């Protein structure tokens, strides 16, 4: 009898090991691509507490982040072919993309806003056309590397609260978000859209001291938007973020904030 119990216990232990190993293999791989919003540049500790890390911690994902400050859609298109990035795309189950804002910011933003002031949308329309072309190639390349991954594309938010500038910049935001939606209508399986824009429009005090990026509260809000979308897709069960490391806001003494603000107005640095 003792021998039988011993054998049964051994089998239980072996089976548990197999189950644990299988569970570990079943962890989803979550990859963030894109620009400084994806990096988490509005907080001091993005590696520990940006929205991507919060999403991964909440759902227990394997986490990779290859977002880069200042990236436009054309930068991302080229970045996808980097060997390390390409290999990571191939192993990812979920690919979360934040892109598009720098296509405006790096394209002589003051002039763009001035032309819009006089009702001329030609510059914005030209930028949107370029984004649409790049977006098609980005999605095509990603799907060629990994046709099974779920791609989640974030809508752009408007960081401005100053009435005049906010209204002008909103025209660009609306045009680009419309581009994302129109592309999805024409290509229904291309990606899932996470409506960060609407979430930011409904809340206050979400922008960092640099006037551009989401602050601590903003990163948590984006995490909520992404978690809700993942839950709807059956890729996660939690919609409330699990905060293992609290995001820390930047302060006015940090000189990089002024460089980022300068970059926002000139398109030279971001």
- pLDDT for 111: 61
**In a domain? residue 12:** no
Number of domains comprising the chain: 1
Instruction: Report residues of the chain scoring pLDDT below 50.
Output: 1, 7-8, 10-12, 14-15, 17-25, 267-270
- pLDDT for 76: 98
**In a domain? residue 3:** no
**In a domain? residue 115:** yes
**In a domain? residue 108:** yes
Per residue in 1-16, pLDDT tens?
455 555 445 444 544 5
Query: If we measure between CA atoms, which residue out of 82, 104, 65 comes closest to residue 219?
Result: 65
What secondary structure letter does DSSP report for 249?
A: B
CATH code of the domain containing 60: 3.40.50.1110
Instruction: Return the exposure string of 43-55: e unless at least 16 CB atoms fall within 10 Å of the residue's CB, then b.
Output: beebebbbbbbbb
Which two three-digit tokens encode residue 75? 């930068």
Which two three-digit tokens encode residue 110? 């003051």
Residues 6+ apart with CB under 8 A from 172: 104, 112, 116, 124, 127
**In a domain? residue 194:** yes
CA dist 111 to 17, 99, 168, Å?
63, 21, 12
Which two three-digit tokens encode residue 243? 């905060």
- What angle in degrees, to the nearest 10, is found between the helix axes of 109-117 and 122-145? 130
**In a domain? residue 13:** no
**In a domain? residue 17:** no
Q: Across-strand partners of 33?
A: 97
**In a domain? residue 191:** yes
Per residue in 141-156, pLDDT tens?
999 999 999 999 999 9
- pLDDT for 48: 97
Q: Range of 245's domain?
A: 27-266
């Amino acid at each position: 009898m003792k021998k039988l119990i011993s054998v049964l216990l051994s089998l239980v232990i072996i089976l548990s090991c197999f189950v644990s190993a299988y569970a570990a293999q079943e962890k989803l791989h979550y990859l963030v691509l894109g620009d400084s919003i994806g990096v988490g540049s509005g907080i001091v500790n993005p590696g520990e507490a940006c929205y991507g890390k919060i999403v991964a911690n909440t759902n227990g994902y394997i986490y990779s982040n290859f977002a880069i400050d200042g990236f436009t859609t054309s930068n991302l298109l080229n970045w996808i072919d980097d060997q390390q990035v390409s290999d990571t795309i191939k192993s990812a189950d979920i690919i979360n993309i934040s892109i598009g804002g720098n296509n405006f910011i790096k394209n002589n933003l003051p002039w763009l806003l001035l032309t819009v002031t006089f009702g001329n949308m030609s510059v914005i329309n030209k930028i949107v056309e370029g984004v649409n072309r790049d977006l098609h190639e980005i999605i095509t390349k990603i799907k060629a590397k990994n046709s099974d991954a779920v791609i989640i594309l974030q809508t752009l938010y408007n960081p401005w609260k100053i009435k005049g500038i906010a209204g002008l910049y909103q025209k660009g935001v609306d045009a680009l978000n419309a581009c994302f939606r129109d592309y999805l209508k024409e290509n229904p399986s291309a990606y899932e859209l996470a409506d960060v824009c609407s979430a930011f429009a409904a809340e206050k005090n979400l922008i960092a001291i640099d006037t551009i990026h989401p602050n601590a509260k903003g990163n948590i809000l984006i995490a909520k938007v992404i978690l809700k979308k993942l839950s709807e897709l059956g890729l996660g069960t939690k919609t409330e973020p699990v905060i293992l490391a609290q995001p820390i806001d930047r302060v006015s003494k940090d000189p990089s904030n002024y460089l980022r603000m300068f970059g926002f107005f000139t398109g030279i640095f971001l």
